[in-house]
Amino acid sequence: MKSTTKRSMTDRFVDGCYRWMPNSIVLVFLLTVLVAVLAVIFCGSPLVTSTETKTSLIDAWNGGFWSLLSFAMQMSLVMLTGYILASAPVVKRGLTKLASIPNTTAGAMLLCGIATCIVWWVHWGLGMMGSIVLGRLLAAQGKKKGYKLDVPWLVAYLWGVECAGVGISQAAPLYGATPGYLQGLVVDDAVRALIPDVIPLADTVVNPLIIGQNIGLFIIITLVARLIMPKKEERILEVSDAFAEEILTVEAIEKPDRSSPAAWINSSPLLNIIIGGAGLIWGIRLIATSGIVNISLNNFNFIMLMLCVLLCWTPNVLGKCCADAIGNIWGVVIQFPFYAGIFGLITQTGLNEVIVHFFTSISSQETFPLIAYIYSGLLNLVVPSGGSKFIIEAPYIMEVCTELDVSIARIIDAYNFADLNTNIIQPFWALAFLAMFRIDFKQIIPYTAIIALAVFIFNMLFIGFLY
């Protein structure tokens, strides 16, 4: 018997996502097929056998498949170090103390919002996991102290406020700051000569204008979230008493095990202090001499990894944190070669030239950043990974920049804000939040959809008129 209960638009939207949205590996397979079909239609690419003038689909695909292994490893480390840092016992204890400060809903909101933005700016992986850990602690403290925190709303705010944390760990600006990386994504020699060897972070995410955009977004998101906060007590879904107690339990500091030489060295901080300390000294010297704005992706990962070694304190804890985190990066490890294959299909069949012609025909120097923002945001709904999507977009986006004389740094910034904007209505990246707070996607989408709309309007106005 069919239910006669009328479903809301939100329910229908969520049900549609669950019904039609496949998992991420299926999406990359479908995108591979789509790009291959477009290459046949617009470039006349042969299917199997290459000719003197045209590269076949399977040759182009295989030619690109393994071309970005180093970048895949780099992005894996960005994610891995973020999870490890947020899981380190000393970080957890610090967040527990921080979460005990607020005594009101407004105070808890402001604390988690500011902390999330700052940490996300430094490291998006740490920002994601840190906001989850802090949010859980605040929800538990709210239950303990008596101030009300609706969990779906809190998750939506934590997930939404990341839009105001465009910072130094985003893939695109780090990719641009690494010597020769952007040039390596361009096939045409004439175009490659026009691409800068390095675009420093000072021109992208550390640009005062972009920092101002982040601050503006934080204010807008916080105001909107405050307006849509559930006010009726019966609508507020708090954590249970048992869940709150579970959250507030802090692990004891591991004591050295002297039962055997192997057990002692595994539980001793000695090697972590030596290795992590030496690496951190190198990182501090690098930042002191070159500045944080000139840091490359490899240097960024090195510093974060050394922090992981030091803050986890012992090899045992480091190993446990790594084991807990490793399951969260499988998508990057497996999917990046397929995105590299798509990169090969686009660049080696000539499809990039077709796309470049399309964008140059509908864009001008003034409008292209706005068009790139909209396009990147829409593509992010299908390819929910900033690093993967940049690999696909970069070959033709940068060529359009050279054709229209548009600053590549401006496009990187537009790309970053677009990526984070649609992330908050994409179920893929919400999975970690949902699992850790034990709620469903349909419970947060009414809030994240409103926040996403506010962010979209603000960014459109900013990019269109101020940038």
State the amino acid at position 284 in one-letter form: I
Q: Which of 166, 178, 164 is nearest to 394 (CA)?
A: 178
Cβ atoms 257, 266 nearer than 8 A: yes
Q: Give the chain's mean pLDDT.
A: 84
Question: Can you tell me whether residue 237 is helix, strand or coil?
Answer: coil
pLDDT of residue 56: 95
Cβ atoms 436, 136 nearer than 8 A: yes
pLDDT of residue 1: 42
Q: At residue 75, does pLDDT exceed 80?
A: no
pLDDT of residue 360: 82
Q: At residue 14, does pLDDT exceed 70?
A: no
Instruction: Convert 201-240 to b/e letters by CB count within 10 Å (16 or more is b).
Output: bebbbbbeebeebbebbbebbbebbeebbeeeeeebbbbe
Instruction: Report CA-CA distances (Å) from 79 to 25, 61, 123, 242, 408.
Output: 18, 26, 9, 30, 25
CA distance 144 to 447: 25
The burial of 312, by beta-carbon neighbours within 10 Å (0-12 exposed, 13-18 middle, 19 or more buried), is given as: buried
pLDDT of residue 55: 93
pLDDT band, residue 166 (cuts 50/70/90): very high
Instruction: Convert 323-343 to b/e letters by CB count within 10 Å (16 or more is b).
Output: eebeebbebbeebbbbbbbbb
Cβ atoms 427, 17 nearer than 8 A: yes
pLDDT tens digits for 282-310?
A: 999 998 887 766 677 788 889 989 999 99
Q: At residue 345, does pLDDT exceed 80?
A: yes
Q: Which residue carries 């239910």 as its tokens?
A: 3
pLDDT of residue 362: 87
pLDDT of residue 226: 92
Mean pLDDT within 321-334: 77
Cβ atoms 323, 370 nearer than 8 A: no
State the amino acid at position 150 in one-letter form: D
pLDDT band, residue 359 (cuts 50/70/90): confident
pLDDT of residue 365: 87
Length of the chain: 467
User: Measured on CA atoms in the order 90, 96, 101, 107, is the torsion positive or negative?
Assistant: positive
**Biggest alpha carbon distance in the chain?**
74
pLDDT tens digits for 115-136?
A: 999 989 988 877 887 888 888 8
Instruction: Convert 80-119 to b/e letters by CB count within 10 Å (16 or more is b).
Output: bbbbbbbbbbebbeebbeebeebeebeebbebbbebbbeb
Mean pLDDT within 411-420: 92
Q: At residue 241, does pLDDT exceed 90?
A: no
The burial of 458, by beta-carbon neighbours within 10 Å (0-12 exposed, 13-18 middle, 19 or more buried), is given as: buried
Q: At residue 280, does pLDDT exceed 60?
A: yes
Q: Tokens for 448, please give them.
A: 């994240």
Question: Can you tell me whether residue 366 is helix, strand or coil?
Answer: coil
| Alpha helices (runs of H) in 100-240, residue ranges in sequence order | 105-122, 124-145, 151-160, 171-177, 181-184, 189-192, 208-228
Mean pLDDT within 27-45: 90
What proportion of the chain, given as a percentage, has pLDDT over 70? 90
Per the model's pLDDT, the better-predicted residue between 403 and 295 turns out to be: 403
pLDDT tens digits for 171-193?
A: 889 888 888 888 888 877 888 88
Work out the number of other CB atoms within 10 angstroms of the CB of residue 354: 16
Per the model's pLDDT, the better-predicted residue between 335 and 60 turns out to be: 60
Q: Tokens for 121, please give them.
A: 């700016």
State the amino acid at position 374 in one-letter form: I
pLDDT tens digits for 188-234?
A: 788 888 899 999 998 999 999 999 999 999 999 999 999 988 887 76
Mean pLDDT within 405-419: 92
The burial of 257, by beta-carbon neighbours within 10 Å (0-12 exposed, 13-18 middle, 19 or more buried), is given as: middle
Q: Tokens for 90, please give them.
A: 């000393």
pLDDT band, residue 44 (cuts 50/70/90): very high
Q: At residue 140, does pLDDT exceed 60?
A: yes
